[in-house]
Amino acid sequence: MKLYCLSGHPTLPCNVLKFKSTTIMLDCGLDTTSVLNFLPLPLVHSPRLSKLPGWISKDGTINLEKELKDCAGRVFVDSQPEFCLPERELLDLSTIDVILISNYHCMMALPYITEHTGFTGTVYATEPTLQIGRLLMEEVVNFMERVPKAQSATCWKNKEIQRMLPGPLKDAVDVWTWKRCYSMQEVNSALSKVQLVGYSQKVELFGAVQVSPLSSGYSLGSSNWIIQSHHEKVSYVSGSSLLTTHPQPMDQSSLKNSDVLILTGLTQMPTANPDGMLGEFCSNLAMTIRAGGNVLVPCYSSGVIYDLLECLYQFIESASLGTTPFYFISPVANSSLEFSQIFAEWLCHNKQTKVYLPEPPFPHAELIQTNKLKHYPSIHGDFSSEFRQPCVVFTGHPSLRFGDVVHFMELWGKSSLNTIIFTEPDFSYLDALAPYQPLAMKCVYCPIDTRLNFHQVSKLLKEVQPLHVVCPEQYTQPPLTQSHRSDLMLELQPPPMPYRRCSVLNLPFRRRYERVYILPELANSLVPSEIKPGVSVATVSAVVHSKDNKHTLQSVPKPPPVAPSKKRKRVMDEPPVVLAPKPLLSGAVPLEAFLATLQKHGITEVKVEETADGHILHLQAEDTLIQLEEDGTHIVCDNNEPLRTTLRDLVLRFLQKL
């Protein structure tokens, strides 16, 4: 059993598990941090961005003026932003049988895998994962296609040139494999390969392996996966949460008794408490509005935003923000808000019971109804005429490189009255802000990451007790910036097996048993005998039938009875009689009892001689020796078949047959 690790990003994993002749891809995360190296894509022409100076190496030998721009001392690629894809050279991706998706953030690379590698398998995901995943993909595609960029920078990717580049560009990995965003057509085609599953649904793969999604508590429809056969169990834990937010709580007990637990998607902000961050978010928001400034919240259009809106719903009145407009701008804003209301069975208990009343589970329905929250597909159209300041705007993309957020950065960046509040943990806020420097706007960093922290995960692992843990190497050492915090790493016994991009791990598995089914006819013919109290054995001779990875044992067919034909006897080929081999024997032959038995069978003249290991019985009349020892019996006689058979059967009476 092997694990191929195609992504080095611990929260956007992409691993391939080879298990019992099936090839299973676990998640399909797209590392979007690569876009931070690119210039933002403005919705309307930005004089500031277009006036940025081009980059020329200090000695003047490399001139990439057209491709690279310098902003406040950092160099950015002036091209359509590109993504860092999962590794595609480590194994033949067309051999992948199934892809299991754990949550909608971890499927963004799906079109690259399903459309361009010869993939012919099935993708498994829950309904909310599919629907919201589709929205997130649609949003990114829309952001990119709305502002097409003619130029595609490639020169800087040249290995020789990249070496000479400054800053993060120099250290960017695998840049020649970076790819532009996919098209909507590719998204549709990729998502048409998705097969919907429900929590705890058991999905059989080729009869060999059973996979089953479990609630992971992180987002709507998010799941961990159990991959198991009758005797082996692998748990795949991805983005999970124990906090009570909107999704159904995490199913922990089903992870028990795993041979291997693959652990990914822990919190990216181990030191930030989500509740505290939420409080800070609200107070900063209120402060800015009171001072007459605007608040910009760069965020994904699903996920934490539901919790933010719910929090604000309770907070608005007490903070007397009743008249402040809240805007949610995204091509999928409406869909995201609507979809959130229809997945009752994927929500936490509280929200579920609301549906029975029937009331919408999320209070943002009321915010919309009372006109406190308005949503728009983009800044163009209705929004531009209805827009009032000061206001709060939720919009994407959290990388600040594309989407409507770019416009608001340009619009509000120059005033210190305004505040940008980062809530998504995926991007370093300093890197995100880099191409907007110098910036007057206030920046508040309140990353809300509800995924498991190290404390929670070690408690979880103690409870479910997997034999082995596999995790990204980042989790086996404290973060670089906090090297003294030994509590910010996994400490386990046996130590976890770390992986990095391009690792191939041999998972410590010894498969020893397989399930077979004994058909009733054969089962009825078995003769068990008790060897020890509570332990019985029976010898089995059977025909093995293997079909679709399922094995059944049938009785050995009897040779067809030779028809009693009166015509001349045909010389038959030797019938394929399959004789059962003789069983192994165990036990010992007790001397006295054996002698008594011999006597019963008319063998009376027996001379017993004691030896070091047992006895030698001399059957004088038959001129036969029987050597009886603790672990063996030896019958020595002349060519007298009937006698030998009798003696054999007498000895066998005292022995157990296996």
Partner 1 sequence: MPEINVTPLGAGQDVGRSCILVSIGGKNIMLDCGMHMGYNDDRRFPDFSYITQNGRLTDFLDCVIISHFHLDHCGALPYMSEMVGYDGPIYMTHPTKAICPILLEDFRKITVDKKGETNFFTSQMIKDCMKKVVPLNLHQTVQVDDELEIKAYYAGHVLGAAMVHIKVGSESVVYTVSVNKYAKSHISAWIDKCRPDILISESTYATTIRDSKRCRERDFLKKVHETIERGGKVLIPVFALGRAQELCILLETFWERMNLKAPIYFSTGLTEKANHYYKLFITWTNQKIRKTFVQRNMFEFKHIKAFDRSYADNPGPMVVFATPGMLHAGQSLQIFKKWAGNEKNMVIMPGYCVQGTIGHKILNGQRKLEMEGRATVRLLISFALTKRLIHVGKLLACVFCFHTLQLDVKLQVEYMSFSAHADAKGIMQLIRMAEPRNMLLVHGEAVKMEFLKGKIEQEFSIDCYMPANGETATVTTNPSVPVDISLNLLKREMALGGPLPDPKKPRTMHGTLIMKENSLKLVSSEQALKELGLNEHQLRFTCRVQLQDPHSDPDTLHRIYTHLKSVLKGYTIQHLPDGTVMVESIVIKVSSSAEDTNAKVLLLSWSYQVKHRHCPCSRLSKLGQKHNRLKT
| CB of 262 vs partner 1, minimal distance in Å | 22
Residue number, 63 or 195, with CB nearest to partner 1: 195
Q: How far is the C-alpha of 67 from the C-alpha of 57, rounded, in Å? A: 13
Q: Using DSSP, state whether 532 is helix, strand or coil.
A: strand
Q: How far is the C-alpha of 135 from the C-alpha of 104, rounded, in Å? A: 9
In this structure, what is the dihedral angle of CA atoms 386, 445, 489, 172, given to the nearest 10 degrees?
Answer: 80
Token couple for 633: 């019996």
Q: How far is the C-alpha of 585 from the C-alpha of 147, rounded, in Å? A: 82
Residue 288: name the closest of 383, 416, 466, 463 by CA.
Answer: 416
| CB of 307 vs partner 1, minimal distance in Å | 20
Q: 544 with 36: CB under 8 angstroms? A: no
| CB of 3 vs partner 1, minimal distance in Å | 21
Residue number, 76 or 328, with CB nearest to partner 1: 328
Q: How many CB atoms lie within 10 A of CB 614?
A: 19
Give the per-residue SS3 of 81-135: CCEECCCCCCCCHHHCCEEECCCHHHHCCHHHHHHHCCCCCEEEEEHHHHHHHHH
Residue number, 47 or 534, with CB nearest to partner 1: 534
Residue number, 174 or 338, with CB nearest to partner 1: 338
Residue number, 176 or 513, with CB nearest to partner 1: 513
| CB of 611 vs partner 1, minimal distance in Å | 16
Residue number, 60 or 534, with CB nearest to partner 1: 534
Looking at the DSSP assignment, which residues form a beta bridge with residue 422? Answer: 445
| CB of 625 vs partner 1, minimal distance in Å | 8
Residue number, 32 or 252, with CB nearest to partner 1: 252
Residue number, 494 or 533, with CB nearest to partner 1: 533
Residue number, 411 or 556, with CB nearest to partner 1: 556
Residue 439: name the closest of 480, 399, 408 by CA.
Answer: 408
Matching residue, tokens 């505290």 = 276
**Where on the phi/psi map is residue 548: left (φ > 0), alpha (ψ -120 to 50), or beta?**
left
Residue number, 532 or 569, with CB nearest to partner 1: 532
Q: Name the residue type at position 147.
A: V
Residue number, 4 or 218, with CB nearest to partner 1: 218
| CB of 638 vs partner 1, minimal distance in Å | 5
Q: 340 with 460: CB under 8 angstroms? A: no
* CA distances, 475 to each of 311, 436, 471 (Å): 31, 32, 7
Residue number, 127 or 186, with CB nearest to partner 1: 127
* Sign of the torsion angle spanned by Cα atoms 305, 310, 316, 318: negative
Q: Using DSSP, state whether 324 is helix, strand or coil.
A: coil
| CB of 592 vs partner 1, minimal distance in Å | 18
| CB of 1 vs partner 1, minimal distance in Å | 13
| CB of 647 vs partner 1, minimal distance in Å | 9
Q: Using DSSP, state whether 229 is helix, strand or coil.
A: coil
* CA distances, 22 to each of 1, 14, 195, 228, 442 (Å): 10, 16, 17, 11, 52
Q: How far is the C-alpha of 606 from the C-alpha of 625, rounded, in Å? A: 9
| CB of 651 vs partner 1, minimal distance in Å | 6
| CB of 198 vs partner 1, minimal distance in Å | 4
Token couple for 257: 């008794």
| CB of 372 vs partner 1, minimal distance in Å | 21
Helices 274-290 and 304-318: crossing angle in degrees, nearest 10, is 50
